[in-house]
Structure 1
């Protein structure tokens, strides 16, 4: 497994298992399979409702805690300084961890950005206190990042975004690169899982003839080609699966290299079509929901 170095020196495995939309009853088995197959990076979130099962899998796996990089996210309903500190307590208790490797704000809240800033200042406090090893954001656009950087001290280590050949967000990637913010791709294979109501009528990039043609050339699957595209461009990728054979396939992307022409062909597939909510439109009224204490 290759690793990436965050801006504060923390090492993070390049590829991890994501558990977005993985039901709690399936999460433990998926995480156990991933750890058994060599994964050492798990991405979850308070809003996913499966942090407890992630923690159970970690404890039952037999893999030493310090060998696994665990990241989770604070949901917008827990934004605000004290609320976010408590949000950490809830997540840490469910995961069964004293320290979380990477804690992220799940979305910007443009309609109440002061609350977003207060939440991020709470992350800075948790970092200073050693309760987290790194802090970051998710789904933050360039204007959100500018406002955050102007008002806080610690540059986010990571910005987790929807990134795949059909939706590349180059303006955000370029801004992140310029500020040493690591880009991390959710939905890196672009189309297996969409937000409900946002992607049911869409064609998966896995079926694109450019992708399938490159896969045939290398003797790899389309998913492996898409993950390699992300890894080769220096990004972290966190594919999601609950099937052991797919989990195994997704980690097997470090033994081949895409040619410059193949990377260019994949880059040219941009559609500009998002697979989830517009980050500019996220509000508490539409997206807020209470995160349980236990």
Structure 2
């Protein structure tokens, strides 16, 4: 048994593989090949989003990979700009059509605010409306689990207040150097599973001398150490790559980080995202 066989169970009983393939920055015309390569290696958890512009390619990869659909876990995300019920309903139908699938395993609200106002204005009512659309699709059976992404505690409380279905997942920026411990604890207290995106800090962590030294101590690469760290935090880890060699390496994380080293990684607070700071999620807001 490897990490690719490990799963978590969501609060509604749905199982989700612990390690997934992130597809941000994989072009639509390359996404199908990336998905097929990942599935051949053993990945069963594939994560995309409307904003990535590659749902069509991801869906093609899922449909042509040779593995039965019910053995795969496919996630996508409602565009962050959609903050009303009808546009959310239409967008859910749009994702199903682009993916070419009759159901989605997990769909998230990508952000509590539109990207051009990230951590900005008040979109509480819009998030409740988008959530209602996800609930309706979930209760109709076209989405097996629903959740959110980039939601802080107050954003979660807004959705939970009056929700018919509590979020099953919150997908967050989590990596050594950015561990939101209080938010992780809050999600755990509400049975909301956290998925860690950018577990390798969009590459920024590769330059950290402390992390490099720790990886050498365990005889692993920095990405392997960072992926293992997020798994030991109890999160789903979603490293993104189109490179099959990296996919294989990212799954070779069968070692254990000691409690003391986990504490060291948890306490790291120094990550410079460099050019990627232009993206809202890395902007420090």
Q: TM-score, normalised by structure 2?
A: 0.90
Cα distance in 1 for partners of 2:159, 2:283 equals 15
1:126 matched to 2:137: yes
Deviation of 1:272 after TM superposition, in Å, equals 7.9
Cα distance in 2 for partners of 1:111, 1:75 equals 17
Cα distance in 1 for partners of 2:25, 2:146 equals 23
1:175 aligned partner: 186
Q: Would you say the 8 A contact 2:23–2:240 is kept in 1? A: yes
Partner SS state of residue 220, structure 1: coil
Cα distance in 2 for partners of 1:62, 1:131 equals 22
Cα distance in 1 for partners of 2:199, 2:282 equals 18
1:30 matched to 2:29: no
Q: Would you say the 8 A contact 1:141–1:279 is kept in 2? A: no
Q: Would you say the 8 A contact 2:173–2:281 is kept in 1? A: no
Cα distance in 1 for partners of 2:237, 2:42 equals 15
1:11 aligned partner: 15
Change in CA separation of 1:211 and 1:224 when aligned onto 2, cut-off 3 Å = same
1:164 counterpart (175, 198, 212): 175
Deviation of 1:273 after TM superposition, in Å, equals 7.1
Gapped regions of structure 2 (runs ≥ 5): 114-120
Cα distance in 2 for partners of 1:33, 1:103 equals 23
Cα distance in 1 for partners of 2:205, 2:282 equals 22
Mapping for residues 81-96 of structure 1, pairs under 5 Å: 81-96=85-100
Gapped regions of structure 1 (runs ≥ 5): 193-203, 283-294
Cα distance in 1 for partners of 2:282, 2:268 equals 22
Partner SS state of residue 112, structure 2: coil
1:237 aligned partner: 237
1:286 aligned partner: none
Cα distance in 2 for partners of 1:147, 1:185 equals 22
Partner SS state of residue 135, structure 1: strand
Deviation of 1:83 after TM superposition, in Å, equals 1.4
Cα distance in 1 for partners of 2:170, 2:272 equals 19
Cα distance in 2 for partners of 1:7, 1:188 equals 23
Backbone CA RMSD of aligned residues:
2.0
Change in CA separation of 1:38 and 1:118 when aligned onto 2, cut-off 3 Å = same
Deviation of 1:53 after TM superposition, in Å, equals 0.2
Moved more, 18-27 or 85-94: 18-27
2:68 counterpart (59, 64, 68): 64
| 1:95-130 deviation per Cα after TM superposition (whole angstroms, max 9, x unaligned) | 111110001000113433211110101111111111
1:246 matched to 2:249: no
Deviation of 1:271 after TM superposition, in Å, equals 3.5
2:124 counterpart (91, 96, 113): 113
Cα distance in 2 for partners of 1:161, 1:48 equals 16
Moved over 6 A (4+): 279-282
| 1:51-84 deviation per Cα after TM superposition (whole angstroms, max 9, x unaligned) | 0000111122101100100000001333311211
Deviation of 1:4 after TM superposition, in Å, equals 0.4
1:271 aligned partner: 270
2:259 aligned partner: 260
